[in-house]
Amino acid sequence: MNTPQSRPGDAPFTERTPRVAAARQLTRRAGRERAGRFLVEGAQAVREALVWARAGRGRVHELFVAPAGLPEDLRSLAEEAGVRVSPVTERAAAGLSETVTPQGVVAVCDLLDVPLDTALAGRPTLVAVLVGVSDPGNAGTVVRVADAAGADAVVLAGNTVDPHNGKCVRASTGSLFHLPVARCADVSAVFAACRAAGLELVAADGYADADLASATPGGPTAWVFGSEAHGLPDELLARVDLALRVPIYGAAESLNLATAAAVCLYATAWRQRAGIATAPFHD
């Protein structure tokens, strides 16, 4: 499939070009929700987006490329996926970037999130559930960690940050394109769906009586992580099957959300792969 390209001699798009102006609206959540699209910036994340599009899993509508040009492997991927490549001025590229130093390539993609039932289909064994997480960098890093640990899905529950936020997308380094991500404002519905999928709900809680070293879950598990500042409220902790803390052996006061999530998800992934499963706490 040939990729639509600018004709030789065409001037690069500026910040006033309608398609660039429309894409700039995607830096805001309201604009993303209205258009059903979001921006992906940087060579690695754009590469993953193009592979995702080439596989028929979603659509990349356009690449905007600064004067420095597009790496040859990305140009080839864009051609294979039938994605338009549009050169833009440095100023236009800066307007599409949410970083201090624009990376020179931005993709316009369809939104990624899927319905909750779709994310939890197929008997998942490891899922990360984020409840009330507001920091996009933390959320994106947890998506990356979940991907690396072989999780089946990430679910954003309650008032949690938009996974299509620019900082979240960058922190995921392309992992958003590797596993299902679902959003659901109803935490009760998320818990019920996880249980219906056969998952044990295990909360990461710094004040839990039991610790991860003595009670690592090895069966099908949905790890539940709360907000950076306050963790999970008591009302939700009362509704999970098990609460565990990550043991602190040194003098550190605590672990940040993304680090704690990495420890928890990997602990369960290691145990599952070793074939050491524990009985679930529910039928």
From 182, 201, 176, select the one nearest 191 (Cα to Cα): 201
In a domain, 2, yes or no: no
pLDDT at 278: 47
Are 59 and 177 part of one and the same domain? no
Are 156 and 232 part of one and the same domain? yes
From 42, 64, 33, 36, select the one nearest 167 (Cα to Cα): 42
Give yes or no for residue 260 having a pLDDT over 90. Answer: yes
The CA-based angle 70-74-75, given to 5 degrees, is 70
CATH number for the domain that contains residue 33 = 3.30.1330.30
Give CA–CA dist 45/75, Å, rounded: 14
Are 97 and 120 part of one and the same domain? no
- pLDDT, tens digit, 9 for 90 and up, residues 60-106: 999 999 988 888 999 999 999 999 999 999 999 999 988 777 788 99
Give yes or no for residue 5 having a pLDDT over 90. Answer: no
- pLDDT, tens digit, 9 for 90 and up, residues 9-51: 468 899 999 999 999 999 999 999 999 999 999 899 999 999 9
Average pLDDT over residues 119-134: 96
Q: How many domains does the chain have?
A: 2
Are 134 and 40 part of one and the same domain? no
Give yes or no for residue 109 having a pLDDT over 60. Answer: yes
Are 71 and 127 part of one and the same domain? no
pTM, whole model, 2 decimals?
Answer: 0.90
Name the 3-class secondary structure at 203. Answer: strand
- The residue among 80, 110, 140 that closes a domain is 110
pLDDT at 231: 87
Are 72 and 150 part of one and the same domain? no
Report the sign of the C-alpha dihedral through residues 97, 100, 102, 106, in that order: negative
Are 85 and 140 part of one and the same domain? no
DSSP label at residue 47: H
HSE-CB at 280 with a 13 A cutoff on CA atoms is 16
Are 77 and 149 part of one and the same domain? no
Name the 3-class secondary structure at 184. Answer: strand
